[in-house]
């Protein structure tokens, strides 16, 4: 077989995927694995969204859709941005894609040239860096340390920006830490960005509705309207409405950028499933009370997981303000040995041994650009969370 493209050598299989595959393989062998790797809500898709998809299919809405999205959904997205974020986008400044991940891929492929830099606050969602590499760019991580609640410091961002910087990615609420920027913190960040007019801003707001303890959400172009003309505001139906499998993301941004992204999308996937778009339209325009109910449930899970993980020897755990992840620090476990004889030199060793010896699947912090940590997703039922945390406590207690 001829050699594969060299660009693939720069892209790793996502650690989340790798750990999920390992966990699935153990389950197929009959092992009782507690799966805490995937950021996927365990709630059902709203019934009215499912019914809208059903009716769309019955009505014959099963043909090729426009590449940028059907008009009813784009209008619903426009209303959503205005309602939730006080952002007013024209319809030709909005596009629909196959999940928010493809939105970001379209944007980077349509804008990044060889050697362009993409600043990514770390810890970060794995795909940001890999997509930048595929596009020919250079990811530039900027540390958001735990002693700053995993939030981006404006001074650190300012130092990282160079003439080669093309994008700054902002993801708050954050995956994997759950960190949320206050309006004042976001204002400090946007003031830095105003001083660098050559830089585009990617606001990944996919966890927008998942904030706790009364902690409010804000997005860059909302906080600083002067940034709107170079900000891509990214969102989707997957997290808030438990619609991961429907694969619908959307974005608002400058018309020239959106046009270029639509062109790119036309080459790689074309339009998005028509019935998924009908379901997402119903979700965005329908009752929103279910989000508050689910957020209250997530907050209870967060509190219980943080409390239980803090009881594990050698682990400390910051309580996050949003998303559905915790990112515990395992510095106190590094250097120790498991009952199975594995020496824990890294957080990768920790999560591998935890899976193999206690059958709890998590993801190492190294995959997200910060060690020694690991990520727990609490987007699963409370019984599994309790059992998973109990096994983590047991695992740490047995380290020597």
Structure confidence by residue, pLDDT tens digits, 81-122: 999 999 999 999 999 999 999 999 999 999 999 999 999 999
Q: Is the separation of the CB atoms in 221 and 229 below 8 Å? A: no
Q: Is the separation of the CB atoms in 362 and 163 below 8 Å? A: no
pLDDT for the residue 5 = 87
- Can you spell out the DSSP letters for 258-319? HHHHHHHHHHHT-S--HHHHHHHHHHHHS--HHHHHHHHHHHHHHHHHHHHHHTSTT-B---
Please tell me the CATH code under which domain 63-285 is placed: 3.40.640.10
What share of the chain in percent tops pLDDT 70?
100
pLDDT for the residue 10 = 78
Beta bridge partners of 119: 140, 168
In this structure, the number of other CB atoms found within 10 A of the CB of residue 381 comes to 11
Tell me which fold the domain 6-44+290-397 belongs to: 3.90.1150
Rounded CA-CA distance 86/22 in Å is 43
Does 63-285 match 6-44+290-397 at the fold level? no
Rounded CA-CA distance 87/66 in Å is 24
Structure confidence by residue, pLDDT tens digits, 21-37: 888 888 888 889 999 99
pTM of the entire predicted model: 0.95
Exposure class string for 314-324: b at 16+ Cβ within 10 A, else e: bbebbebbbbb
pLDDT tens-digit profile, the chain (400 residues): 888 888 877 777 777 777 788 888 888 888 899 999 999 999 999 999 999 999 999 999 999 999 999 999 999 999 999 999 999 999 999 999 999 999 999 999 999 999 999 999 999 999 999 999 999 999 999 999 999 999 999 999 999 999 999 999 999 999 999 999 999 999 999 999 999 999 999 999 999 999 999 999 999 999 999 999 999 999 999 999 999 999 999 999 999 999 999 999 999 989 999 999 999 999 999 999 999 999 999 999 999 999 999 999 999 999 999 999 999 999 999 999 999 999 999 999 999 999 999 999 999 999 999 999 999 999 999 999 999 999 999 999 999 9
pLDDT for the residue 71 = 98
Q: Is the separation of the CB atoms in 378 and 298 below 8 Å? A: yes
All structural domains of the chain with their residue ranges: 6-44+290-397, 63-285
């Amino acid at each position: 077989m001829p050699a594969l493209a060299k660009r693939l050598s720069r892209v790793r299989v996502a650690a989340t995927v790798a750990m999920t595959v390992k966990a699935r393989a153990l389950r197929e062998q009959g092992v009782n694995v507690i799966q805490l790797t995937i950021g996927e809500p365990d709630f059902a898709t709203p019934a009215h969204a499912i019914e809208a998809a059903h009716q769309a299919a019955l009505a014959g809405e099963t043909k090729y859709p426009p590449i940028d999205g059907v008009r009813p959904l784009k209008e619903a997205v426009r209303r959503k941005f205005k309602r939730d974020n006080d952002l007013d986008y024209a319809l030709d400044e909005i596009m629909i894609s196959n999940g928010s991940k493809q939105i970001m891929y379209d944007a980077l492929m349509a804008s990044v040239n060889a050697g362009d830099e993409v600043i990514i606050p770390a810890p970060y969602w794995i795909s940001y860096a890999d997509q930048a590499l595929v596009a020919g760019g250079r990811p530039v991580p900027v540390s958001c340390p735990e002693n700053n609640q995993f939030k981006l410091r404006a001074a650190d961002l300012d130092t990282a920006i160079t003439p080669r910087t093309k994008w700054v990615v902002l993801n708050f609420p954050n995956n994997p830490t759950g960190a949320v920027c206050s309006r004042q913190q976001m204002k400090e960040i946007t003031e830095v960005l105003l001083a660098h007019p050559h830089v585009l801003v990617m606001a990944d707001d996919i966890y927008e509705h998942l904030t706790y303890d009364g902690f409010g959400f804000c997005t860059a172009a909302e906080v600083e309207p002067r940034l709107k003309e170079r900000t891509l505001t990214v969102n989707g139906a997957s997290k808030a409405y438990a619609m991961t499998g429907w694969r619908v993301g959307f974005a608002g941004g400058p018309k020239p950028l959106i046009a270029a992204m639509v062109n790119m999308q036309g080459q790689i996937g074309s339009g998005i499933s028509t019935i998924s778009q009908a379901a997402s339209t119903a979700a965005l325009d329908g009752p929103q009370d279910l989000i508050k109910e689910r957020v209250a449930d997530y907050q209870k899970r967060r509190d219980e997981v943080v409390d239980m993980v803090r009881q594990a020897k050698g682990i400390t755990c910051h309580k996050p303000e949003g998303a559905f992840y915790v990112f515990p620090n395992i510095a106190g476990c590094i250097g120790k040995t498991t009952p199975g004889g594995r020496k824990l030199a890294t957080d990768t060793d920790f999560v591998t041994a935890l899976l193999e010896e206690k059958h709890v699947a998590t993801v190492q912090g190294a995959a997200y650009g910060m060690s020694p940590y690991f990520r727990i997703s609490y987007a699963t039922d409370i019984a599994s969370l309790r059992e998973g945390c109990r096994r983590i406590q047991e695992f740490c207690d047995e380290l020597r």
